[in-house]
Amino acid sequence: MKTNLFFILVALFVTTFSLQAQDETLEELQAMLAEKEGIKKTIDEEMADLDKRIKAFPGWTKGLGGTLGLNFSGTNNWFANDVAKVAARGFGLSLSGYANYNEANAKYFWNNTLNVSVANANSKSDNDGDEKFDEGENSNENLTTSASLFIINSLGGYQLFSTVYASAAANYQTTVANFNDPGQFTLSAGLTWKPINDLVAYVHPLAFQKTFPGGDYSSATGAVYGATYAAEIYPGVKWTSALDGFYSYGGDDEATPALTRSQLSNWTWQNGFSVADVFKGIGLGLNVGLRKNEQLGLAKGSSDPGTIQMIYNLGLSYAL
């Protein structure tokens, strides 16, 4: 009798649970999910606002982030290709950091940024069909390419009125592999506009750009312009952008061949996008660097020295 009663109670429990589960419709579950997503969005927006307000406080604010991209690919006996055996590998690394100081009464500021990008690729192909990759620098079965960019910028200013500051800047650009060969160091002075904490724009009509190591490279006087922007454009998605430009006031008739004003002018524009915390603090990052520097192209013997150069990296990102 007790055994029968036990089974009856179990059956009633299972039946009641099943009926309750069936009471939840698809629409109700979707509504519950939408409610939770709305709560999460609100929390993300509040956290972004708190982060912005913290950065607006006087004193130092610092940050460092990086993106690492890796690529491995290859074929073996893939007869649809002209070369059936190919192996390729590559990596890209981008680092960006900043250290900014804001005075308590907003009378002066000092912004410092560092940007480094490195891209390297190595490919091997069995051109002669002997099932081996020939080694050696002169082998046509090996190809290694690399590109890099190193930029450090320092901008300081004293408030004249409202959002306008008298300012001075120092900027140095080179490559990682061939450090300072070439390299460009620029000193400038003028005005800076800071309408919001996330945006800084400057125009410096007094500037001198020294190009190292000399020889085939010319230095020039001119004007500097640029802007930096960093903000969360969508919850969890950050965008950083930095533009640095130099406008030469004249050419160099003593160079061989002579260089015009436009050939001595140059600009570099870097953009970084990151999606935060995709997995345990690790996100996704995309960094794209664009540059136009005709003088460097001429020195390297490029057939199209005025073309826009590009370096990019897509991979995993992490921020400190």
Average pLDDT for residues 3-23, to the nearest whole number?
55
Q: Tell me which of 56 and 177 has the higher pLDDT.
A: 177
Given this model, what pLDDT does residue 82 score?
55
Distance, CA of 252 to CA of 224 (rounded, Å): 18
Is residue 136 over pLDDT 70? no
CATH of the domain at 193: 2.40.230
User: How sure is the predictor about 73, in pLDDT bands with cuts at 50, 70 and 90?
Assistant: low
Q: Tell me which of 89 and 245 has the higher pLDDT.
A: 245
Average pLDDT for residues 173-189, to the nearest whole number?
90
Average pLDDT for residues 105-109, to the nearest whole number?
84
Number of domains the chain is built from? 1
Distance, CA of 305 to CA of 257 (rounded, Å): 14
Distance, CA of 264 to CA of 306 (rounded, Å): 11
Is residue 90 over pLDDT 90? no
Is residue 19 over pLDDT 50? no
What is the tens place of the pLDDT at every residue in 208-243?
Answer: 999 988 777 899 999 999 999 988 888 888 899 999
Given this model, what pLDDT does residue 79 score?
47
Q: Tell me which of 124 and 191 has the higher pLDDT.
A: 191
The torsion angles phi and psi of 133, rounded to 5 degrees, stand at: -95, 115
Q: Tell me which of 186 and 313 has the higher pLDDT.
A: 186
The torsion angles phi and psi of 8, rounded to 5 degrees, stand at: -65, -45
Average pLDDT for residues 190-201, to the nearest whole number?
92
Q: Is residue 32 situated within a structural domain?
A: no
What is the tens place of the pLDDT at every residue in 241-265?
Answer: 999 999 999 999 888 888 999 999 9
Q: Is residue 153 situated within a structural domain?
A: yes
Q: How far is CA 76 from CA 5, 84, 125, 131, 135, in A?
A: 70, 6, 10, 9, 18
Average pLDDT for residues 151-167, to the nearest whole number?
94
Q: Is residue 3 situated within a structural domain?
A: no
Q: Is residue 15 situated within a structural domain?
A: no
Q: Tell me which of 20 and 35 has the higher pLDDT.
A: 35
Q: Is residue 72 situated within a structural domain?
A: yes
pTM of structure: 0.74
Q: Is residue 63 situated within a structural domain?
A: yes
Buried b (16+ CB within 10 A) or exposed e, 191-211: ebbbeebbebebbbeebebeb
Give the burial class of 229: count Cβ atoms within 10 A of its Cβ; 0-12 exposed, 13-18 middle, 19 or more buried: middle
* Domain span at 217: 58-319
Given this model, what pLDDT does residue 222 score?
97
Is the Cβ–Cβ distance between 263 and 253 less than 8 Å?
no
The 3-state DSSP class for residue 7 equals helix
Q: Is residue 233 situated within a structural domain?
A: yes
Q: How far is CA 205 from CA 221, 224, 244, 245, in A?
A: 10, 6, 14, 12
Q: Tell me which of 1 and 101 has the higher pLDDT.
A: 101
User: How sure is the predictor about 320, in pLDDT bands with cuts at 50, 70 and 90?
Assistant: low
**Average predicted confidence (pLDDT) for the chain:** 81
Is the Cβ–Cβ distance between 193 and 163 less than 8 Å?
yes
Tokens for 266? Answer: 């140059």
Is residue 299 over pLDDT 50? yes
The 3-state DSSP class for residue 305 equals coil
Q: Is residue 213 situated within a structural domain?
A: yes
User: How sure is the predictor about 86, in pLDDT bands with cuts at 50, 70 and 90?
Assistant: low
